[in-house]
Structure 1
Amino acid sequence: MTGQKGRGGLVGAIAAEWTKLWTVRSTWVALASTAALIIAYTVIAGGAARSAPADGSGGGLPTAPLDNLGTGVAFMGQFGVLALATMVMATEYSTGSIRSTLLWVPVRYRVLLAKCLVLFPVLFVSGLVLTPVGVGSAVAALGDAAQSVTAEDAVARAFAVGGYLAATGVIVVGIGAAVRSVAGTLTVGFLLMLVLPMTMQSTSVEFLSKAADYLPGPAGMHLMGVAENQAYGTPAAVGLLAIWAVAANVVGYCVLRSRDA
């Protein structure tokens, strides 16, 4: 009996989620897709910026590799993470494996907490790893037009990218618990991270345009230093992402408690 102590509870739930995450091919596919999307964006944007006319009429594409990376994460790379986080939570409802999960971990909040505690560091480290890859592809695409990148700025951007990808994953886990559908989770995540902010920012209603800055997608762009208006700084961006992550999982937990499997 003593030898089995500590294998259950939150520790056991985390161990189970870790095993589930790394024993399916879709995890590797999603992470590889994230890398491919970021590289594709930085190469395309870098090539376009290098080819732009010198008079600035080419659309104002950034020649800073770190900015190319940040916009690549915001506009393309994060959707590989969205797919991975959807798999972690919502796919269990589509396959019916959520019944086994809830049987093994009957304390409902531990289910969400364990998934978040596994996914957050994985995505954070992925962001750290993908930053030099994205910067390298941006520098190669920009060629002589590339601005210099300092080690300090690169490290800071790596932490920002990792933090945003990790926060996105946690938010989507909460959405998945609330929506309980793969298609629904992907749709809500896509709308919340990109479509809704862009729509609100393009409107002539000033209140909606300003409110868009406080959605998770724009908060991530502020964190990565690529937001157009710089409405707030890094601490506020971190706080907003944390609030969205907690709010999404509180809603998911409430739905999980009330409707179960």
Structure 2
Amino acid sequence: MPSVVDAAVPEHRHEHHSGGGFTGAVAAEWTKMWSVRSPYVCLSAGAVAAGIFAFYYGSIARINDKPLQPVGNAPVTSLLLVQFAVVVLAMVTVTSEYATSSVRASLLWVPVRRRVQLAKSLVSAAVAFIAGTLFGVLGIAVAWVPFRGHATFEMSEALSQVLAMGFYCALIAVLTVGVAFALRASAGALAVLFTLISALPSVLTGLGGDVLLTINDCLPQTAGTYVMQGADDAPYPRVAAMAILLSWAVVGHLAGRLVLQRRDA
């Protein structure tokens, strides 16, 4: 016969629940990402632009009779132009929720705030890695035709560049999520990211000078280029370039986490 104590304990307290936690947060972010049109639009536009720019690069290299180069240089160069497809994809996972106030629901479902940001970063990075890799494969396939013998193809080198493109896109996505959490608005986040990733390197290299070029070497896009192309004239080895890129992603993530922890949604 059950005791009075046993009878007073609700039956559901003896049940073992599964799911939830960080795994549940990641699953929720994955579902939310693919339930709207923006990822499909960003990835489709990025793929089209990557193919066009890679074809253009191969054509220009042939016309200008440039020395033989890895065919993978074409998609790497095109990625510097189309990387904002990945930036926008990662950014809207955060800013769209602030714009609609649905971030409050996300924080109610996953009350550990750092877990929400980490889940968004992980999902965005995974999608960005796949996207960057596919952009690389597509770029190599498209650029090979217009190069017409003005490029070399080695499987190991091409594979290295393609994976490096995925690595670069993944870390840029993590940086983007962090900046988006720190600023919370699409316009502000995109302005900061565009300045940091693209505009600032152009200004610094245009002005020239040892100090400005040294600063440029420490920026994410410059380090990412060295990671993807492995240039012989790089001021530091590829491992150091990867460390610089990773540092930017960590700094962005921590900045977003600080604001998320201290400010109300």
Q: Distance in 1 between matches of 2:177 and 2:16?
A: 30
Q: Would the alpha carbon gap of residues 135 and 113 (structure 1) be closer, same or farther in structure 2, given more than 3 Å must change? A: same
Q: Look up the equivalent residue of 2:214 and give its one-letter code.
A: K
Deviations 1:180-235 (A, max 9, x none): 11111111111111111121222244212211111111111011116694112221
Q: Look up the equivalent residue of 2:242 and give its one-letter code.
A: V
**CA-atom RMSD in angstroms:** 1.9
Matches within 5 A, 1:1-261: 5-52=17-64, 54=65, 64-74=70-80, 76-145=81-150, 147-225=151-229, 229-261=233-265
8 Å CA contact 1:42–1:141 kept in 2: the answer is no
8 Å CA contact 2:75–2:135 kept in 1: the answer is no
Q: Look up the equivalent residue of 1:107 and give its one-letter code.
A: V
Gaps of 5+ in 1: 55-59
Q: Distance in 1 between matches of 2:233 and 2:176?
A: 26
Aligned residues: 253
Gaps of 5+ in 2: 1-11
Once the two structures are TM-superposed, the CA of residue 62 in structure 1 deviates from its matched residue by 7.4
Q: What secondary structure is seen at the aligned counterpart in 2 of 1:35?
A: helix
Q: Normalising by the residue count of structure 1, what TM-score does the alignment of the two structures yield?
A: 0.90
After TM superposition, where is structure 1 displaced by more than 4 Å over at least 4 residues in a row?
1-4, 60-63, 226-229
Q: What secondary structure is seen at the aligned counterpart in 2 of 1:202?
A: helix
Q: Look up the equivalent residue of 1:191 and give its one-letter code.
A: T
Q: Look up the equivalent residue of 1:10 and give its one-letter code.
A: F
Equivalent pairs: percent with the same residue? 35
More displaced 10-residue stretch of structure 1: 87-96 or 104-113: 87-96
Deviations 1:66-122 (A, max 9, x none): 111111112x12111011011111221112211111111111100110011112122
Q: Distance in 2 between matches of 1:150 and 1:3?
A: 57
Aligned to 1:57: none
Q: Distance in 1 between matches of 2:235 and 2:206?
A: 16
Q: Distance in 2 between matches of 1:25 and 1:31?
A: 10
